[in-house]
Amino acid sequence: MKNLDEWLAHCERLHPTTIELGLDRVKTVADRMALRFDCPVITMAGTNGKGSTCAMLEAILSQSGFRTGVYTSPHLVRFEERCRIGGEIVTGDALVPYFERVEAARGEVSLSYFEFTTLAIMGLMAASKLDVAILEVGLGGRLDAVNIFDADCAVITSIDLDHMEYLGPDRESIGREKAGIMRTGKPVVVSDPMPPQSVVDHATEIGADLWLFGRDYNVQGDKQQWSWAGRGRRYGGLGYPALRGANQLVNASGVLAAIEALRPKLPVTAQAVRNGLAMVELPGRFQIVPGQPVLVLDVAHNPHSVAALAANLDAMGFHPVTHAVFGAMADKDLATMLAKVMPIIDRWYFTDLPTPRAQTAAKLEEEWRAIETRSDVRASTHTSPEDAFAAARAAADPADRIVVFGSFYTVGGVLKDGM
């Protein structure tokens, strides 16, 4: 294998299943690689808000002069997006030697695509002389490959029903899996305002330093500014995060709690907090692209995040017609997702996606027709997000808006096309 694309194709062929939770195999290979971090590690788990929380932490810590490394997944357009060093997306050429290291170390061990690529990225990050590593869990927490590294601070964002076939049938079960990233004696920040009791119980059982929203830290605000108060520290007169959406304030509150919990290791100034929140960027999270028509991109792909998207769209003001490009995985609660945003959408463009895990456009339309009650709403099906978006653009008037949401593949397909 000579380049990143060839290595990624190799990883896809290695393991019989796309997802296999468990730490034994990945830990074996990591030990053979002598893989470890010589800097504080912040590990992020949750159903929604992980990527935004990672981006805000990265922006604030970078503004304080720290060399940051960030691992997130999945990507929108290019695999390299999964790793940022010093705020910059890494190159494929930089990653290739670490894929080679994983291959040399694994021997007889069969690694899934996610495990193999995670180890390669961790290898690059560990060799990059970082001041702080920010690691986003791919799925769950307890049995996710990222959890082979001990967190100096764990952050658990909002918890909702998603990936239930792997994580359990309810919020308590899912919360228990997310809680697996906690470590004894280390801070864990929970930014979900109403966390499952299983999260609180696990922190107590293992003796983690639990920071709860509403107990250990809180926020207040008006339309112009907001303030944060935590254990012995307060930030007042803050500007709202550059990432749009009401849900981002909850994410930002957890970020500031994590900053305070790690202050002895990573001291941060108030000005760095202000600058970081003002400058943070993350594509695909209620991303508004100005123009005629206005475009909204959002990777909302479960009922909780789609409800937040609906609320954010409602707050945008009047648009004569809202067009929606939508594609999603087949294992999602599609009927609930559609129902939450249907009152706002006037024209649907359902799309196939380039992965066998996706629901077909025809099936999406079928689900929608089973619950749609407005006779004036029309729908069409398309073979790709690019085709669906082109149809929406052709039909939309300048004063309308187009919303592209659902899977990362949906938003990534439109971004890849250059809009």
Share of the chain above pLDDT 90, in %: 83
pLDDT at 245: 80
Question: Tokens 């648009």 sit at which residue?
Answer: 319
278 by DSSP, 3-state: which? helix
- In whole angstroms, what is the distance from residue 30 CA to residue 169 CA? 31
Report how far Cα 247 is from the mean position of its chain's Cα atoms.
13
Whether 147 shows a pLDDT value over 70: the answer reads yes
| pLDDT tens profile 196-237 | 999 999 999 999 999 999 999 999 988 889 999 999 899 999
Report the 10 Å Cβ neighbour count for 370.
9
Q: Which residues contact 394 (CB under 8 A, 6 or more apart)?
A: none
- What is the four-CA torsion angle of 15, 73, 392, 281, rounded to 10 degrees? -160
Q: How far apart are CA 64 and CA 58, in angstroms?
A: 10
Is residue 403 very low, low, confident or very high in pLDDT (cuts 50, 70, 90)?
very high
> Cα–Cα distance between 10 and 345 in angstroms, integer?
41
Q: Identify the structural domains of the chain with CATH numbers, from first to last.
A: 4-279 (3.40.1190.10), 287-416 (3.90.190.20)
pLDDT at 66: 98
Please state the pTM of the whole predicted model: 0.90
Sort strands 88-89 and 83-85 into parallel, antiparallel or unpaired.
Answer: antiparallel
211-214 contacts at long range (C-beta below 8 A, 24 or more positions apart): 211/187, 211/257, 211/261, 213/250, 213/253, 213/254, 213/257
| 419 vs 30: CA distance, rounded Å | 40
pLDDT band with cut points at 50, 70 and 90 for residue 17: low
Q: Is the dihedral of CA 36, 269, 136, 385 positive or negative?
A: negative
Q: Which phi and psi angles does 240 have, rounded to 5°? A: -65, 150
pLDDT in tens, 311-359: 999 999 899 999 999 999 998 899 999 999 999 999 999 999 999 999 9
Q: What is the pLDDT of residues 84-104, one digit of tens each?
A: 999 999 999 999 999 999 999
Using an 8 Å Cβ cutoff, are 208 and 199 in contact?
no
Mark residue 208 as left, alpha or beta (left: phi above 0; alpha: psi -120 to 50; beta: remaining). Answer: beta
Q: In this structure, what are the phi and psi dihedrals at residue 379, rounded to the nearest 5 degrees?
A: -145, 155
- What are the C-alpha distances in Å from 44 to residues 72, 156, 197, 364? 9, 6, 19, 31
pLDDT tens digits, one per residue of 291-324: 999 999 999 989 989 999 999 999 998 999 999 9
Buried b (16+ CB within 10 A) or exposed e, 383-392: ebbbbbbbbb
| Packed helices 113-126 and 4-14: angle between N→C axes, nearest 10 degrees | 140
Q: Which of 401, 396, 300, 412 is nearest to 47 (CA)?
A: 300
Q: What residues are paired with 185 via a beta bridge?
A: none
Q: What is the pLDDT of residue 232?
A: 85
**Signed CA dihedral, 159, 63, 183, 232: sign only:** negative
- Per-residue pLDDT of 371-383, as tens digits, reads 988 999 999 999 9
